[in-house]
Amino acid sequence: MIRRFVLLILLLLPLALTGCSDGNSGAPPDNAAHPLDWIKTHPADALAVAGFADCLICHGADLQGSGQAVSCYSCHSYNDTPPFIIHPAAWIDPFINHRAYAAANGFTSCATCHGADLLGSPAAPNCFTNSFSGRGCHPDGPGQAPHPVDGTYLDGTNHGPDAKADLTACQACHGQPGGPGSNPRFNLGIDSVNSTGCEACHGVNYAHPADWAGPNNTFHYSASNIQNACTLCHGAALDGVGGVGVSCLGCHASATAFTLNCTFCHGAPPDGSPDVATNTGVDHSNVAEDFHDICVVCHGMKESATGGSFAVAAEYLLFDKATESIGDHWNGLIDMNASSDYNEANFGCDIACHANDVDHQLSDSGLPVELKSFGFGEAVPHPVDFSFLEPENHGPAAKGLTAAFPNGLADCQPCHAQEGANPRFNIAIIRNGGSCESCHNDQTAHPSVGARDNTHWYDGIYKHSDVTDFITQCTLCHGANLGGVADGGVGPACLACHTNDPVVNPSGCVSCHNLPPDGNAPAGNVRPNRQGQHDRAGHSSIINIDPSQTCIRCHNEAGIGTAAHFDTTGPADVNFLFIDPTDDMSTVFDGANTTCTGTCHITAGSFITHDAETW
């Protein structure tokens, strides 16, 4: 009797304890072990104890259920063993991936979590909601497409932009499941084309136009989500490995930055060999690469200096992603430079630095020509209309006195001279076959005395004292150290005239006259530094006159740049600079020497009198 009473107490004890838990909203119901909404938070609780130890007590040692405790696999139906997942393992994003799965398998499996009527449960959202996590769902019920289904969406202009924006969004309903490298067939759905999906129009294993490389206004330049969308078929690394699509590394030098590889289509012009293999090929082998600045002078566009992108002339139009404008490169026309007066009849240029002859004409590409004014690019930084032949125009450039020619003759050399040291400047300038040597004599590119040119480059407006960067320019022909023939040059040694280092003293009197009036070597009766009376006191620092202008006091009007300065005959031209009305200097030349007489006024009350001093 006592034993039966004890057993009854033990059976009633749980009910008594339950009745004491009033007001506890987190307590489980009388007939359940967990709170009602525990399904939302149970993953963290289940994982908190190693091996699901607490779960095994009720749900069985294999978690297949026991008694009133359900099997864990009733919800986790995609698992055979822990760890548990909710959706199939192939789903990267349930929002995207559930659509194709549901279309192929129906909604039965969804009902377990989303409810029998798909109106949601504590474990999963309502499929009829207008949005979930900020993304639209099915306000009109599951199965409603996120685009028109009246046939209008089959037009490429309607579905194309969406497919370009993210092809994986189309995959959810119209493609087989899978991520990068999975090569999904896009052959699901679309009732109006016998449920063959995108492949009804785009071909097997295609979900884009077959000619998506261009030139057309649908080409893939504006495609997005590249690392996920394109990797579906072009290989996980976009190198074509394992993919049904080609390697992207043919056209693109990089599959991450997507820089371009122009040579894939164009070879390496201007050699021409790869170009002529195409149906629009043109042999460019007679095009001088450096001179024509690689494509831009003729076609308005070239590869950028860093590679992988375009550097274009002002009128050249690039593709515009925002407007889907295909630009000049993909419009099926061959752009030619109207600035050079491209001749469509013979495929040459009527305005150029060469003749429009068979040696400078190309073949027919077969493409319609579009003329645009691209100028002359970086390779021809001067006019080619004959005006540059005038010395006042090309002379400063050859001396390095203009921004376009900072290195002077060294900048002229690539187009108009041979390479290396002692170059002949005999490469074409104008279409009559001329060159620098046509006017400036053989082995020269500056005024010089000879058969064709008879101008001294140390006299008049052509003096070379204003040349910049002697080491870059003059060493081309005067030897590496400006030492002339003995130094490996074809020009004379600069020290033949410049008694002081012409690099240290590139201009001014000291290059020839040393430091007058000191009379140092060459001195005595040796020109151009004859001693005479130059060492007489008062001549080296005449009062109130800048020492650098000392020579001008007595040799006015015979300074450098005048014909008298370089007449090479004695005596040195003397023409006094009268700085005061009381100056009365005069000279007498006896055929060998000059005698100076008179007075030089310096300051009030102070005179220097020349009493028949001979120089």
The pLDDT of residue 143 is 60
Q: What six digits make up the tokens of 51?
A: 């091996």
pLDDT number for residue 13? 38
Mean pLDDT (the chain, rounded): 78
Band of residue 566 on the pLDDT scale cut at 50, 70, 90 = low
Q: Tell me whether strands 135-136 and 301-303 are parallel, antiparallel or unpaired.
A: unpaired
346 pLDDT above the threshold of 90: yes
Q: How confident is the model at residue 240 (pLDDT cuts 50, 70, 90)?
A: very high
Residue with tokens 């407007």: 323
Alpha-carbon distance of 198 to 185, in angstroms, equals 9
21 pLDDT band, cuts 50/70/90, is: very low
Mean pLDDT of 196-208: 90
Determine the average pLDDT of the residues in 276-282. 76
Q: According to the model, what pLDDT value does residue 159 have?
A: 92
**Residues with Cβ within 8 Å of residue 420, at least 6 apart in sequence:** none
d(CA 190, CA 197): 5
Inform me whether the pLDDT recorded for 232 exceeds 90.
yes
What pLDDT does 17 receive?
Answer: 41
Which residues have a Cβ under 8 Å from the Cβ of 343 and sit 6 or more positions away? 349, 350, 356
Residue 260 in this model has a pLDDT that exceeds 70? yes
- Average pLDDT of span 50-75: 86
Lowest-confidence range among 212-216, 221-225, 235-239? 212-216
Give the sign of the dihedral formed by CA 20, CA 25, CA 30, CA 35: negative
What's the pLDDT score for residue 228? 92
| 198 pLDDT tier (thresholds 50, 70, 90) | very high
Given a cut of 60, whether residue 341 has pLDDT beyond it is yes
Q: Tell which wins on pLDDT, 287 or 141.
A: 287
pLDDT exceeds cutoff 80 at 1: no
- Structural domain spans, the chain: 32-81, 152-234, 387-496, 537-614
CA-CA distance, 230 to 168, in Å (whole number)? 9
- Kindly report, residue by residue over 165-186, the tens digit of the pLDDT: 899 888 877 888 889 999 999 9
What pLDDT score does 423 carry? Answer: 94
**CB within 8 A of 568, min separation 6: which ones?**
none
Angle subtended by helix axes 156-165 and 167-174, to nearest 10: 110
pLDDT at 113: 80
pLDDT, mean of residues 21-33: 64
Question: Of 223-237, 349-363, 474-488, which gets the smallest average pLDDT?
Answer: 349-363
pLDDT in tens, 300-312: 998 888 888 888 9
Mean pLDDT (whole number) for 325-352: 88
The answer, yes or no, to whether residue 132 has pLDDT greater than 80, is: no
Phi and psi, residue 470, nearest 5°: -55, -40
Q: Which of 48-57, 100-109, 282-291, 351-360 has the lowest mean pLDDT?
A: 100-109
Q: What is the mean pLDDT of residues 587-609?
A: 71
Candidate from 9-23, 53-67, 243-257, 308-322 with smallest mean pLDDT = 9-23
Q: What is the pLDDT of residue 459?
A: 67
The residue-averaged pLDDT of 451-471 equals: 81
Give the per-residue pLDDT at 78.
81
Share of the chain above pLDDT 90, in %: 18
User: Over 283-335, what HEC string results?
Assistant: CCCCCCCCCCCCCHHHHCEEECCCCCCEEECCCCCCCECCCCECCCCCCCCEE
Amino acid in position 67: G
CA dist 203 and 183 (Å) reads: 14
What digits encode the pLDDT tens for the residues 280-324?
788 887 777 666 778 888 899 988 888 888 889 889 998 887 787
Q: What integer is the mean pLDDT of 70-86?
A: 84
The pLDDT value given to residue 400: 92
Q: What is the pLDDT of residue 368?
A: 92
- In which residue are the tokens 């015979």 written? 558
Residue 395 has pLDDT above 90, yes or no: yes
Is 335 or 8 the better-scoring residue by pLDDT?
335
Q: What is the mean pLDDT of residues 319-338?
A: 86
State the pLDDT at residue 347: 92
Q: State pLDDT tens for residues 439-459.
A: 899 988 899 888 889 888 876
pLDDT at 336: 93
Give the pLDDT score at 569.
66
- Check pLDDT > 90 for residue 430: no
Range of 36-40, 51-55, 564-568 with top mean pLDDT: 51-55
CA geometry: angle 315, 316, 321, nearest 5 deg: 125
**Residue 65 has which token pair?**
């259920």
